[in-house]
Amino acid sequence: MILPGSASQSLGAALADELDEPLAVPETQRFADGEFKLRVPDAGGERAVVVAATVSAAAHVELLQLQDLAREAFDEVVTVLPYMGYARQDRAFRAGEPVSARAVARAVSTGTDRVLAVNPHEPTVGDFFDVPFEAVDAAARLADPLPALDDPLFLAPDEGAVELAETVCAAYGAGACDYFEKTRDYDTGEVTVEPAGTEPAGREVVLVDDIVATGSTMAAAIDRLHERDVADAYVACIHPMLADNARAKLAAAGVAGLWGTDTIEQPESDVSVAPVLAEHL
Ligand code: R5P
């Protein structure tokens, strides 16, 4: 049985379809103090697959509740984190800070037999879990919504994302890859990107990253590309977080197209990671 968190209902349904397994419809009871409680009346069977993007504090609590009820009603519990919240806080940057990704991983580990996470920011986040962990790479799916492009340049906004860009390029079957040098001022949040080694002038560019959060990274990259007279700049990401005014930032920068997957369910979630996850379940 697939047990979806409220931020992963469409993905849960797609996964149930792929695996031909029943889809639970959790009921939520809310209390005056702001707490809530879930119920899956027909829970029971061999395996529960809990699918929950942990996009908020409430989503984390919801995941723990789903795991807890699943533990009681099923022989095996598998937890799928389409988007793992706090994964980018994978080290203590200053003395006195927690490693938030580790704190979350430890909590998630208590309620499951294994964990799958789609393109976590760093696969090494898996070391924080106390149960078997698998990072699932869905980057090839990002090539599907691409229009017909003539010799496109797939660009990562920083060196860390160059493998994603290479995967999308390989799945598209044409074009070249490169990356930008990126620096971020952690006090102001301002992002600076230096032009890539490959000359982008006149080319159609597809920027590829694991996540678009505030959109600052991609907007800075698009600005720089337009200074260098690219034809069009598209943005493809695994996790379309698109927080705050990210869409406006990207539109103002002149993005030609923006899409992501359903690891975070948004209007821009043009491709589903369900088929890739199904291969691992
Ligand atoms: C950072 O290394 C990530 O890959 C993304 O580039 C970054 O987190 C995106 O954040 P934002 O959209 O806020 O610039």
For the annotated catalytic residues, the residue numbers are 182
CA of 235 to the centre of ligand 1 (A): 13
Q: Residue 138: pLDDT above 90? A: yes
The verdict on the CB of residue 163 being under 6 Å from ligand 1 is no
Substitution site in 159, 180, 210, 224 for ligand 1 pocket (most atoms within 8 Å of beta carbon): 210
Domain boundaries, the chain: 2-137+274-279, 140-262
Contact yes or no for 111/61 (Cβ under 8 A):
no
The verdict on the CB of residue 117 being under 6 Å from ligand 1 is no
Mean pLDDT for 86-109 is: 95
With a threshold of 0.85, does the pTM exceed it?
yes
The verdict on the CB of residue 4 being under 6 Å from ligand 1 is no
pLDDT bracket for residue 84 (50, 70, 90): very high
CATH 3.40.50.2300 correct for 2-137+274-279: no
Residue type at 268?
Answer: E
User: How confident is the model at residue 151, as a pLDDT?
Assistant: 87
Substitution site in 89, 182, 212 for ligand 1 pocket (most atoms within 8 Å of beta carbon): 212
Q: Residue 195: pLDDT above 90? A: no
Q: Is there a common fold for 2-137+274-279 and 140-262?
A: yes
CA of 46 to the centre of ligand 1 (A): 39
pLDDT tens sequence across 240-274: 999 999 999 999 999 999 999 999 999 999 999 99
For the chain, give the DSSP string: -EEE-TT-HHHHHHHHHHHT--B---EEEE-TTS-EEEE-TT--EEEEEEE----SHHHHHHHHHHHHHHHHHEEEEEEEESS-TTTT--S-SSTT---HHHHHHHHHHTT-SEEEEES-SSGGGGGG-SS-EEEE--GGGGGTT----SS-EEEESSGGGHHHHHHHHHHHTS-EEEE-EEEE-TTT--EEEEPPSS--TTSEEEEEEEEESSSHHHHHHHHHHHHTT-SEEEEEEEEE---TTHHHHHHHHT-SEEEEETTS--TTEEE-SHHHHHHT-
* Size of the chain in residues: 281
Q: Residue 1: pLDDT above 90? A: yes
pLDDT bracket for residue 182 (50, 70, 90): confident
pLDDT tens sequence across 11-61: 999 999 999 999 999 999 999 999 999 999 999 999 999 999 999 999 999
Question: Cα 44–47–131 angle (5° rounding)?
Answer: 125
CA of 245 to the centre of ligand 1 (A): 14
* CATH fold label, 140-262: Rossmann fold (3.40.50)
User: How confident is the model at residue 196, as a pLDDT?
Assistant: 66
191 Cα nearest atom in ligand 1: 14
